[in-house]
Chains A and B, each alone.
Chain A
Amino acid sequence: MPDQFLFAVEVMINGLMAGVLYALVALGFVLIFKASGIFNYAQGVLALFAALTLVGLQKGQIPFAHLINAAFGTKVHYFGWTMPTFLAIALTIGVMILLAIAIERFILKHLVNQEPIILFMATIGLAYFLEGLGDVMWGADVKTLDVGLPQGASEWIEDRSAVLGGDGFYGFFIDKLDIVAALVAAVLVISLTLFSQYSKQGRALRAVADDHQAALSVGISLRFIWVLVWSIAGIVALVAGIMWGAKSGVQFSLSLIALKALPVLMLGGFTSIPGAIVGGLIIGVGEKLFEFTIGSMIGGATENWFAYVLALVFLVFRPQGLFGEKIIERV
């Protein structure tokens, strides 16, 4: 096989892996959009906040340390312990659930029956609030996140695939972390699908998404469902935060990934869980391949805008996305 072709394949595989990460963020959007018709601008920040909390707990950071030091003239920063990863993750999940309860209690409850655009504005407010809260609680410095996931190139794949090419080809370079991310995403999607298809709460969730009145009439509490769905979105955000954080450190630019999730959703459709995954993969592969083949001819750095242009094309020809349903009416 010609090396050029093999390189293209490698680029594609890496694109797939990057796409998985986009898809993980997009998944959180879809969950909330499906259940409440809200486009949750804060999903990216949720991922950031979850990752910050996880790192903070793990390293025994004292929350609001800067504030405490400024107020009392102390110099405390750490509790002085290192928390086991499992415990830290469990506690972070707890924090995300508390956050979901607070969001329902202080925001959603007061905005029942409001226009989607108002709810959307509220989530923008929430995004900036959470970003500020994350900063004040845990500090704005870039943190490394280590939850013991395997990292670095997989030699196994490299060795096995090296034989495909000639002397100049050393095999596919694939990060082990990306493989883990893909597996986690697969498990997440399968369990979410099973949950929504076969459990009582999942059924209630789909019911709420479809018709509020009818849901009430069969005995479903809207408030409980909203807390549930924001909790799940928070946990999905945690997973996305862990993957991104492990790959490129926990930093505030993480919240900007949310913007990459937008074209993913336009491709996949706002209401489809498989759509989020497929959309993420298409964007991931598309931008990597585009950069590889055409990027160099037009000065590079196409990855910054390719996804948005692709989304625009989709908006013209298939506004509901690949798997979506009648979003036109919603907007």
Chain B
Amino acid sequence: MRDTVEPYVTEDGRTIGGVVMELKNITLRFGGVVAIKDISFDIREGEIRAIIGPNGAGKSSMLNVISGFYTPTEGEVWFEGKPRPKMRPYQVAQQGIARTFQNIALFAGMSTLDNIMTGRITRMKSGLFSQALWMGKAEREETEHRAAVEKIIDFLEIQHIRKTPVGRLPYGLQKRVELGRALAAEPRLLLLDEPMAGMNVEEKEDMSRFILDVNDEFGTTIVLIEHDMGVVMDLSDRVVVMDYGKKIGDGPPAEVRNNKEVIDAYLGVSHD
């Protein structure tokens, strides 16, 4: 199938590989409301895939389907070449799919360090009893995880707030900590739900830079939802456009930008 699609090289010279995830004919209904209508698209290794669309288009619902928070009414999610059985969100996370939320969901009482540390829970091996009995092994593991977390803290330039309870941090920094927590899982697939919502220009620039660096340095595959068209066009390799639960466009940013349906959805249809 589409796994056989040749890897290709983007304009800026990065190689986009095979299909990591494929969504096949996804439909999602809540009672009588249809949030997603028969949508299919794929996500390839190493790319930044954006999902855009006006408010209420079903973008967040789509992300929730991918992360297992919603189970699609119809259709299949294929991950790494296999159809994914019905899963709970924590099982999806354990498969290596990390996410952030539109309305930040951090552990407000914990410090930045502890928050990012929880991101590594899926990577921690020592169980309850080995932690109680073989302190040495558990301690070594803790040190390793701590080192990985420190790397992320350096990467995101948040050393100065390591010990601060995140509830006290300004919005922009909280978003950054949330990104850090998702990164800590070293995910196969990173889902970002409006990573730049509510940020000022400077914060947006910082966040864009971090997203590009994550993709560049760790080769992480990223799916992101964003409202800011400029940001999407700059960041993403390919874009899915949704409107009223339907897919109305799919392709590289330049192509999507000139798509008539997309322009209509965003700017409204002129009636002259």
Q: Which residues of A contact B (CB under 8 A)?
A: 198-201, 203-204, 206-207, 209-211, 213-222, 325
Contacts and interface: CB of A to CB of B under 8 A. Distances in A.
Interface string B209-234: 00000000000000000000000000
B88 A221 contact: yes
Contacts of A200: 121, 124, 126-128, 131
Contact of A222 (B90, B121, B185): B90
A214 B114 contact: no
Interface stretch (B33-41, B78-86, B105-113): B105-113
27 contacts: A199-B128, A199-B132, A200-B128, A201-B131, A203-B117, A203-B121, A204-B118, A206-B107, A206-B109, A206-B110, A206-B114, A207-B118, A210-B106, A211-B105, A211-B107, A213-B69, A213-B105, A214-B181, A215-B118, A217-B98, A217-B105, A218-B185, A219-B91, A219-B93, A219-B94, A219-B121, A221-B90
Nearest to A208: B107
B254 to A, nearest CB: 33
B69 to A, nearest CB: 7
A215 B114 CA distance: 13
B142 interface: yes
Contact of A207 (B91, B107, B132): B107
B67 interface: yes
B122 A218 contact: yes
Contacts of A209: 109
A165 B105 CA distance: 61
B121 A211 contact: no
A233 B234 CA distance: 52
A203 B93 contact: no
Give the interface size bracket for B toward A: 20 to 34
Contact of A217 (B93, B128, B142): B93
Given A206-B110, A210-B108, A219 B185 contact: yes
Contact of B107 (A199, A210, A325): A210
A222 B93 CA distance: 13
Nearest to B94: A219
Contacts of B91: 219
A323 B117 CA distance: 25
B124 A214 contact: no
A204 B117 CA distance: 10
Nearest to A210: B107
Contacts of A220: 90, 93, 118, 121
B251 interface: no
Nearest to B106: A214
A194 to B, nearest CB: 10
B89 A216 contact: yes
Contacts of A204: 118, 121
B99 interface: yes
A171 B179 CA distance: 63
